[in-house]
Structure 1
Amino acid sequence: MLTGFIGDIHGNIDALESSLEALRRHRVERIICTGDIVGYGACPRECIDLTRQLEIPSVLGNHDQYTTQLGKDWAIRPAAKHAIRWTQAHLERGHLDWLGALPRTLDFGTFTVCHASHVWFPAWPYVIGRREVIQHLLSQPRQLCFNGHCHAPIRISHRPGRLPAVDTLGNMLLPRNQRLTVGVGSVGQPRDSDWRACIVIYDEARQFIRVLRVPYAVEKARRRILDAGLPTELADRLLVGH
């Protein structure tokens, strides 16, 4: 089976539509989302509606959770907080209820999906430091996991008798006898100095991971953010992928 992974969409409908079209061209049989459908971008409603319309299984991301917590404050950057408040004001009750009902993890039998980590709830750690990596791998119920949150394509691997390794993700055959977490990058706000949307395709029959970068109407997405009155930094960072 060919499975396409999207994640960290962050209200960027232009990037989402282009990513879905790319996955259709590659004839994936299912699409899974690693969370953070909203936050930062100016089209949260459209991104939720499209994800629901296509019945794409998704896990809860931290920005999804923040958005559902009306009246609560969080220790996050001012621009991110501004975007959360704006997003809350532009969603209907049905959108908020749907986001709030998303599961923390999904188990597909041969692999699992989470946004950040299988542990550390209710926190949302970046699984790149040694402590976070070890705790995550120890709690990972399957040999293979797909996640998001870091906004960059990465792989976290552990071979018995060795320390875990964190590397940039590229096209790869899955190694045998290793625990592996595949960070699928970000559709709507990449942070690896590449502005193009990042998606991943998993060929389960061949045990092969493919990373795709998808051009999209980035200036249009930037203009949407500015026209919505959201912070300029959230618009400009789309152009540089950071």
Structure 2
Amino acid sequence: MDKKIEHINIQGKVLLFGGVYSNLQALEKLKNIAEKNNIPPENCICTGDIVGYCAQPEETVQLFKLWGAKSIAGNVEIQLREGAEDCGCDFKKGSRCDGFSQLWYPYAQSKLSKSSLDFIKELPDHIRFTHAGKKTTVVHGSWFNISEFIFKSTPWKVKQPNFEASNSDIIIAGHCGLPFHQTENKKTWINPGVIGMPANDGNPQVWYAILDDTDGKPSITHRTMDYNHKLTSNLMRNGLLPEEYARTIITGIWDNTEILPPVESGLQGFGVQL
């Protein structure tokens, strides 16, 4: 199937984020940050998974539409628009994450209006733009696989083919849930992190990033964000969503590290290593 790619013209500061995960309170706060920093909606780019683990999928999609920020489709959006029975997250069958997805994914499906589903159906697979002379492509997991988990510790030989296939200098990716950036061979892989869940660092704050071309060359700054996480957690304690995810919103610690490579798993609770 041909990829749907949106080409945009962009300059100045770009706000990058991923995994809103139906976390309305986090999205409200990020929108406020963008407005206070005079970053226009068209310069705010999400790596996908607007919908996910938290309690307000419909409200979150509608606010995203109202804001006018850009996003690609994450695996969750792909599955929702196709009416699939699971989230397509590539969790190991029978794992705790797989079990939890059998709670939150049907919940999200049941809450989304036709208006929200129509919006989701229009999301591109990738966004492309040139920033400070660098060809930049936004992917969810990878260029080849929307559900591929790519972390900082993932060997560069796994990342390199993505640049070649997409003809990119910079790749902005999501899906793995942890922020990092890495440069090799004059190519840069950026994951801004997600705003819908903490980064398994023992802190309820969530992560986003700013890409800036003020000096004529791209620079990346990772930032954390406080928001009303207690309200988010309380709304998730509705008897329909995993209690463990509601707890993670508060503690900043993931219930399990099933998807993580040994390096990232070993850093649980010790903070994000940028």
**TM interval, short-chain normalised:** 0.7 to 0.9
Match of 1:44 among 57, 60, 76: 57
Q: Give the TM-score, by structure 1 length.
A: 0.85
Q: Which amino acid letter does the alignment assign opposite residue 203 of structure 1?
A: D
- Provide the rounded CA distance (Å) in 2 between the counterparts of 1:69 and 1:81: 17
Compute the displacement of 1:213 (Å): 0.7
Instruction: Please name the residue that 2:106 is paired with.
Output: 85
Q: Which amino acid letter does the alignment assign opposite residue 197 of structure 2?
A: Q
Instruction: Please name the residue that 1:195 is paired with.
Output: 204
Between 1:57-66 and 1:72-81, the stretch displaced more is 72-81
Compute the displacement of 1:49 (Å): 0.7
Compute the displacement of 1:71 (Å): 4.7
* Aligned ranges 1:1-242 → 2 under 5 Å: 1-29=12-40, 30-73=43-86, 76=91, 77-110=98-131, 111-120=136-145, 123-128=146-151, 129-130=154-155, 132-159=158-185, 178-193=186-201, 194-206=203-215, 207-227=218-238, 229-241=240-252, 242=254
- Provide the rounded CA distance (Å) in 2 between the counterparts of 1:63 and 1:188: 14
Task: Indicate the SS of the match to 1:117.
Answer: coil
Gap runs ≥5 in structure 2:
1-11, 92-97, 255-274
The question of whether the paired residues in 1 share the 8 Å contact of 2:104 and 2:240 is answered with no
Compute the displacement of 1:196 (Å): 0.8
Q: Sequence identity, in percent?
A: 22
**What whole-Å deviation, never above 9, does each CA across 1:20-59 have from its counterpart, x for those lacking one?**
2122222223211111100101111111111111211110
Task: Indicate the SS of the match to 1:132.
Answer: helix
Compute the displacement of 1:228 (Å): 5.8
Compute the displacement of 1:154 (Å): 0.9
The question of whether the paired residues in 2 share the 8 Å contact of 1:154 and 1:183 is answered with yes
The question of whether the paired residues in 1 share the 8 Å contact of 2:103 and 2:240 is answered with no
- Provide the rounded CA distance (Å) in 1 between the counterparts of 2:190 and 2:78: 22
Compute the displacement of 1:14 (Å): 0.7
Task: Indicate the SS of the match to 2:130.
Answer: coil
Matched residues, number: 222
Gap runs ≥5 in structure 1:
160-177
Between 1:126-135 and 1:12-21, the stretch displaced more is 126-135
Root-mean-square deviation (CA), in Å?
1.8
**What whole-Å deviation, never above 9, does each CA across 1:122-158 have from its counterpart, x for those lacking one?**
x510123325323323324221121211111111322
- Provide the rounded CA distance (Å) in 2 between the counterparts of 1:228 and 1:66: 24
Between 1:74-83 and 1:215-224, the stretch displaced more is 74-83
Q: Which amino acid letter does the alignment assign opposite residue 17 of structure 1?
A: E
The question of whether the paired residues in 1 share the 8 Å contact of 2:192 and 2:209 is answered with yes
Task: Indicate the SS of the match to 2:236.
Answer: helix
**What whole-Å deviation, never above 9, does each CA across 1:193-215 have from its counterpart, x for those lacking one?**
13212111111223221211111
The question of whether the paired residues in 2 share the 8 Å contact of 1:33 and 1:57 is answered with yes
